[in-house]
Chains A and B, each alone.
Chain A
């Protein structure tokens, strides 16, 4: 029977916390780029110009149907050769997850915008607003509120997906765990601690989502799923 011994793992906790910090960095940057990009793609998809909307749908479908790990490998191993630039694991991860999540965010934006009553568009038009003005001032502020739970859910998915960057040797929490496990010969303790760390990290986010949804429900807004 195995004797549990967490001493070696806990002694190197700062090593794991560095990994956690790196995970959060990629996560934050992917959100920062992914959300605006998602809005652009969503607007592209809803555009009246056929070419633009077809290209946008293709981008959305492509990045939603291909596995994130394949995309990551492509951006890390294939793209640098194709355009002959140096690609660090960090840059490749941020690019991959920004684009990958933007495809999902685009669908949330589109759902949110479509869920706003047509009358709102007409009202904006009636007081002389252009399509762009009405989108910015009337439609989006209402739509975003409905989209928040879906956004939060997607962000949690993104956080879980960031574990993949360990496969291109970026020092995220998962990668640090692999290193530590082979250094200490204590895979059981290391991976258990890391699993618990991920669990609580994601649990905090998902509890916040539930709280947010509860508050939105109370303020009488229908939420989008």
Chain B
């Protein structure tokens, strides 16, 4: 059987797709900013010498790195309301799952980056009279961020791809909207092909950017 490709049946619903695209960008922006922000906090906690700071951070990282994001999203959507008695929206459940996962993964990147800075830099900071916070902020983080840029960009790409999981709890992001179009127009081939190509076109430049960053920051300092 020869299939007649008919992309017009997808693009006729461009406004439906546009809502999805906005949904994707929205959830990506929120989870990425919160995930990386709190990831830095948890990463610094992991690095702390006080066990009562580093241990909870470690447990948090292990729990959220070792459970699939989909399980977390489903848990927040169906189980959390039972515990708290408060309705959890699809967006909240998905954003919570993706954010916690991103925090756990980026915390390890931040910790690795901070650890990779030589001891002498800490001593130098101390020698000119800086305290811990000042040394961390002005000397260590500043240098570590450069080394962490490639893995953090990869994390961002993963987060963008992860946003499709929100479709499982019917949050209207791109994949969910494509599903709607496919079930309405019976054109799954075109609908899902369009989504795949959209993601490819958005993320390809970012992937190229990680290659450039790796070449520039990966080896030399």
A residues neighboring B (CB under 8 Å) = 2, 61-62, 64-71, 73-74, 77-78, 81-82, 84, 159-161, 163-164, 166-167, 174, 177-178, 181, 187-188, 191-192, 194-195, 198-199, 202-203, 206
Set B71, B85, B167, B193: member contacting A69, Cβ < 8 A = B167
- When C-beta atoms are compared, the residue in chain A nearest to B188 turns out to be A77
CB distance from A154 to the nearest CB of B (A): 13
Interface size on B, residues (CB 8 A): 41
If A67-B162, A73-B175, A167-B168 touch, whether A202 touches B196 (CB-CB below 8 Å) is: no
Q: How many Å lie between the Cα of A144 and that of B130 in the bound state? A: 46
If A74-B196, A195-B67 touch, whether A69 touches B164 (CB-CB below 8 Å) is: yes
CB distance from A22 to the nearest CB of B (A): 15
CB distance from A92 to the nearest CB of B (A): 12
Interface contact A203-B66, CB-CB below 8 Å: yes
Asked if B26 CB lies within 8 Å of chain A CBs, one says no
Q: How many Å lie between the Cα of A191 and that of B200 in the bound state? A: 33
Stretch at the interface among B32-40, B43-51, B75-83, B137-145: B75-83
Main secondary structure of the interface of A (DSSP, over half): helix
Interface contact B195-A70, CB-CB below 8 Å: yes
Interface contact B188-A160, CB-CB below 8 Å: no
Mark contacts of B159-183 with chain A using CB atoms, 8 A cut-off: 1 yes-contact digit, 0 otherwise.
0011111011000000100010010
If A78-B193, A82-B3, A198-B68 touch, whether A178 touches B75 (CB-CB below 8 Å) is: no
CB distance from A156 to the nearest CB of B (A): 8
Set A70, A78, A195, A202: member contacting B189, Cβ < 8 A = A78
Interface contact A68-B161, CB-CB below 8 Å: yes
Interface contact B79-A187, CB-CB below 8 Å: yes
CB distance from A100 to the nearest CB of B (A): 11
Asked if B127 CB lies within 8 Å of chain A CBs, one says no
Interface contact B78-A187, CB-CB below 8 Å: yes
Sample (20) of A-B pairs whose CB atoms are under 8 Å apart:
A2-B82, A2-B83, A66-B196, A68-B161, A69-B167, A77-B182, A78-B192, A82-B3, A174-B71, A178-B74, A191-B71, A191-B75, A194-B71, A195-B71, A195-B72, A195-B75, A202-B66, A203-B62, A203-B66, A206-B66
